[in-house]
Structure 1
Amino acid sequence: MEGAIMTAQLLLSLSILIAVHEWGHYITARMFNIRVEKFYLFFDFLFPMANVLNFSLVKYKKGDTEFGIGWFPLGGYVKIAGMVDESMDKEQMKAEPQPWEFRAKPAWQRLIVMMGGIIVNVIVGILIFIGLTYAYGDRYILNDYVNAHGGVQALELAEQIGIKTGDKIIKINGKPFEYFDDTSKPSVLLSENSSYTVLRGDQEIEIPIPENFIEQFDRKEALAMFVLPRRIPLVDEVSKGTMADRIGLKQGDLIVAMQGQPITYHDELKAITQDFKGDSLQFTVKRGDQLLSFKEYFKGETSIGFYVPNQIVPVEGEKQVNYSFGESIAQGPGRAFGVIVVQLKAFKKIFTGQMSLRKSLSGPVGMAKAYGGKWDWYNFWRMTGLLSMVLAFMNFLPIPALDGGYVMFLLYEMVSGREPSEKFFENAIKVGMAILLVLMVFVFYNDIAKLITGN
């Protein structure tokens, strides 16, 4: 069921973004009276082979344009008259240019048409971030509260770089910070020579963040494997058929001692139960004003069988920041373009060899995992806004067959006054599509390899 929810969220998100991207090309072409022959969500052929498996799931014609939904869900396209594109319609290009064709228009108009999809994706991304800021605001965990209540619980990823349970993170890159959430921000993980300063007992220790550390955060669950505020062992929900169920633990019970040791935090309890070697487990539970003692057979088990509350810290450990509509409009663009800044930092680390290309790229499977197995509208729109900005960024790359490739050739024409030959342009498109095909195969292989190996 979780897989179906992930897939549904990804398909809906991509459908929205592909549709608005192609609409950007469509509406700018119509502005300049350029005929648009097709407008398709998804490809109606086996991309990038334009003449293989040509069929659509739904289609209808309005005016000069055929609107439809293709069967190959890895993109979409508009077929603009007089333009070399994914369809590679060479016959049309042999005829004399017509006034309604793309190639008959001045370079500046063609440039606007090619930038239309990118511009609309940026606008949509900004609007989504404005909407999320206004509707939800920001909720932060206060770092001072975390440090005053036991510091962090260091999980697998934190232990890899040297953070230990009980450490108090007091600085990031040598500067104090207010919000605990900043510890896992992409801007921090991607910065050059980043580090955490932790207080361990009375000693301040600087812990460098590895240059490729962000590769570990390639799925939504990774955040729950890094650092968390330490939590008290308070019973919220009891699992059926477990020791907690058998002895009648109740919501609100607090475990205060185990095996003769006082227990303050849930991680202390887990450390005892997961490595337990004896037969019977002894522990004390505080229920209201009562202290209840238990001694239960526990051989071969690793968990008592209860969940702590979902809320990571109590209300006093959080800060909710709400924004007016005007403030949200001011905040939205910065948050949207922050995605582009993160992309640029990541590309820099990939090209300088500090990050692995294989570990950094994800295809549909990796993207679906980022949405999570539960339908959460906030996360759905956050991911959609993020992907809208990423789609704009990727399409702007100067690769023939992407919008950025067309923009590159048009800028050359506008500066030099010479248009590249149609033959050169066709060959460039073929090379670009070959690059995209190799990249597509690579990310699919990468996704499958990660599923098989778990890495």
Structure 2
Amino acid sequence: MDIVIKLSQFLLSLSLLIILHELGHFIPAKMFKTRVEKFYLFFDVKFSLLKKKIGETEYGIGWLPLGGYVKISGMIDESMDKEQMALPPQPWEFRSKPAWQRLIIMLGGVTVNFILAFIIYIGMAFAYGDTFVKNEDIKDGYAFEHPAMLKAGFKTGDKIISIDGQKVENFDSDLNMNIVMAKNIVVERNGSQQTITMPTDFVDQLSKHEKGLLVSFRMPFAISGVEEDSPNTALQAKDLVLSLNGQPIRYFDEAEPILKQNKGKTIPAKVLRDQKETNVNVIINKEGKLGVSVGSLGLASLEKLGYYKVSTKNYSFLESIPVGIQKGKDQLVGYGKQLKMIFNPETKAYKQVGGFKAIFDIFPNTWSWEVFWNITALLSIMLGVMNLLPIPALDGGHVMFLLYEIVSGKKPSDKFLENAQMVGFVLLISLLLFANGNDIYKAVIGK
């Protein structure tokens, strides 16, 4: 059932993005009285799953879910319809339209992608608001457990002050991604500030370990269960350990050194059980363990216990507009930084470029509209940026030649455009094979 939910979200998001992107080309083409021969979700190589002709346009669903397309008459595209291009230009064809109209048609897809992302972020701000913990309320620093973060020089208890000169106001979902792309991070440790310079190949280092949060809240020692063979029958699930051997315990990381120091011993402990403090004796085994599993608490429980103050901000519709626009701008800038890292060989970030499996893995196994729309908005930005790359066969390639035509007053020959389209198509297939090859390599051989 989990795989069905995950696959449903993946296909729904992908289909929505493809259809709206192609509508971005379709609508201005029809506005400028340009004939659109086909409008397809997915590719119909050899055959299509569904198709119906309405007016001059055939609408359909292909069997190959690698994207979608609109076939515009008189346009040199992936169809490489040389027979049509050999005939005299017709008034309804793309090649007969003024350059500015052709430019608008080609920019329509990415424009819709960016507008869609901003609309989603505005809608999410209005529907869900923001839930966060102010950085100033993090009194005892953050938890750092990821090996790559520890290797970079972070320690549990460090409080992040700024990232690349930008002050950290809140602990929210963007903090981990900002760390990935950071060059310098200022932390407060033991009352003084110090700067940690992030490794150039930090992204590559992350890939060598299991996925996990780079920074998280410090959690209390909350027992989620007691193992069957554990000698500590005095402990119960939902107990909160408050002290060990007379030493106060506020966070789980504070318990670990005490447990190691008392291997094989029985020591007194104090736990919070049903809102009452209870004294018990606990037995520590030779590995420095109690034979219990430790659970994480949600923000609501942490706030109730007095660990963190959770701030919630709701927005009116008008207030949500600038909030959503800012969120979209931040994500757009962030993705631009990611691309810059990928094209920089020193970062080795190109090793982490993924294909359809990587996108599929982003979606959770449980259905959440908030998560779905957040991922869809991000993918819309990614699709828009990728399509703007100046590669023939992508929208950006067509835009590049149209801008040349508008500036120089000279239109590239059809033969040149055909050759450029072929080169771009080969380059695009190579990038597709590389990205999906990375997915296969990771799945079969490992990281």
With the shorter chain as reference, the TM-score category is 0.7 to 0.9
CA-CA distance at 1:83 after TM superposition: 1.3
Structure 2 letter corresponding to 1:158: M
In structure 1, the residue matched to 2:110 is: 118
In structure 1, the residue matched to 2:74 is: 82
In structure 2, the residue matched to 1:402 is: 394
Tell me if structure 1 keeps the 8 A contact 2:176–2:214: no
Matches within 5 A, 1:83-98: 83-98=75-90
Distance 2:418 2:405 in 1: 16
CA-CA distance at 1:91 after TM superposition: 1.6
Tell me if structure 2 keeps the 8 A contact 1:274–1:302: no
Matches within 5 A, 1:341-380: 341-380=333-372
CA-CA distance at 1:433 after TM superposition: 0.7
Tell me if structure 1 keeps the 8 A contact 2:122–2:320: yes
Q: TM-score, normalised by structure 1?
A: 0.86
In structure 2, the residue matched to 1:249 is: 236
Distance 1:290 1:338 in 2: 46
Tell me if structure 2 keeps the 8 A contact 1:358–1:446: no
Residues 1:265 and 1:244: Cα distance change in structure 2 (over 3 Å): farther
Distance 1:275 1:377 in 2: 47
Aligned partner (choices 94, 97, 106) of residue 105 of structure 1 = 97
> Any idea what the Cα deviations from partners look like across 1:217-251, whole Å, max 9, x if unmatched?
679x84x432222122234x447857499656143
CA-CA distance at 1:203 after TM superposition: 4.1
Distance 2:103 2:394 in 1: 13
CA-CA distance at 1:427 after TM superposition: 1.0
Does the residue aligned with 2:347 lie in a helix, a strand or coil?
coil
Tell me if structure 2 keeps the 8 A contact 1:130–1:329: yes
Does the residue aligned with 2:122 lie in a helix, a strand or coil?
helix
In structure 2, the residue matched to 1:131 is: 123
CA-CA distance at 1:139 after TM superposition: 1.6
Distance 2:188 2:142 in 1: 10
Structure 2 letter corresponding to 1:209: M
Residues 1:23 and 1:242: Cα distance change in structure 2 (over 3 Å): farther
Does the residue aligned with 1:111 lie in a helix, a strand or coil?
helix
In structure 2, the residue matched to 1:162 is: 153
CA-CA distance at 1:383 after TM superposition: 1.1
Matched, 1:209 2:209: no
Residues 1:297 and 1:208: Cα distance change in structure 2 (over 3 Å): closer
In structure 1, the residue matched to 2:29 is: 29
In structure 1, the residue matched to 2:14 is: 14
Structure 1 letter corresponding to 2:243: A
Structure 1 letter corresponding to 2:28: T
Tell me if structure 2 keeps the 8 A contact 1:107–1:410: yes
Distance 1:275 1:12 in 2: 54
CA-CA distance at 1:429 after TM superposition: 0.7
Tell me if structure 1 keeps the 8 A contact 2:262–2:284: no
Distance 2:418 2:324 in 1: 40
Does the residue aligned with 2:216 lie in a helix, a strand or coil?
strand
CA-CA distance at 1:82 after TM superposition: 1.3
Matches within 5 A, 1:125-274: 125-146=117-138, 148=139, 150-156=140-146, 157-173=148-164, 177-181=168-172, 184=175, 186-187=177-178, 189-191=180-182, 193-199=183-189, 201-214=190-203, 222=211, 224-235=212-223, 237-238=224-225, 241=228, 243=230, 249-251=236-238, 253-258=239-244, 261-269=247-255
> Any idea what the Cα deviations from partners look like across 1:317-341, whole Å, max 9, x if unmatched?
2221222211211222232232222
Distance 2:347 2:262 in 1: 39
Structure 2 letter corresponding to 1:450: K
Tell me if structure 2 keeps the 8 A contact 1:270–1:303: no
CA-CA distance at 1:436 after TM superposition: 0.7
Tell me if structure 2 keeps the 8 A contact 1:245–1:305: no
Does the residue aligned with 2:311 lie in a helix, a strand or coil?
strand
RMSD: 3.1
Tell me if structure 1 keeps the 8 A contact 2:39–2:69: yes
Tell me if structure 2 keeps the 8 A contact 1:198–1:204: yes
Structure 1 unmatched ranges of 5 or more? 46-53
Tell me if structure 2 keeps the 8 A contact 1:396–1:404: yes
Structure 2 letter corresponding to 1:305: S
Does the residue aligned with 1:447 lie in a helix, a strand or coil?
helix
CA-CA distance at 1:79 after TM superposition: 0.8
Matched, 1:416 2:403: no
CA-CA distance at 1:25 after TM superposition: 0.8
Tell me if structure 2 keeps the 8 A contact 1:25–1:116: yes
Does the residue aligned with 1:135 lie in a helix, a strand or coil?
helix
Aligned partner (choices 387, 410, 427) of residue 379 of structure 2 = 387
- Please say which of residues 329-338 and 297-306 is displaced more in the overlay: 297-306
In structure 2, the residue matched to 1:48 is: none
Does the residue aligned with 1:12 lie in a helix, a strand or coil?
helix
Structure 2 letter corresponding to 1:195: I
CA-CA distance at 1:59 after TM superposition: 1.5
Residues 1:162 and 1:452: Cα distance change in structure 2 (over 3 Å): farther
Does the residue aligned with 1:38 lie in a helix, a strand or coil?
strand
CA-CA distance at 1:190 after TM superposition: 2.8
In structure 2, the residue matched to 1:291 is: 278
> Any idea what the Cα deviations from partners look like across 1:66-123, whole Å, max 9, x if unmatched?
1111111111001111112112222222222222211222211111111111111111
Matched, 1:324 2:316: yes
- Please say which of residues 342-351 and 328-337 is displaced more in the overlay: 342-351
Among the aligned pairs, what percent are the same residue?
Answer: 42
Does the residue aligned with 1:56 lie in a helix, a strand or coil?
strand
CA-CA distance at 1:374 after TM superposition: 2.6
Q: How many residues align?
A: 439
Structure 2 unmatched ranges of 5 or more? none
Q: TM-score, normalised by structure 2?
A: 0.87
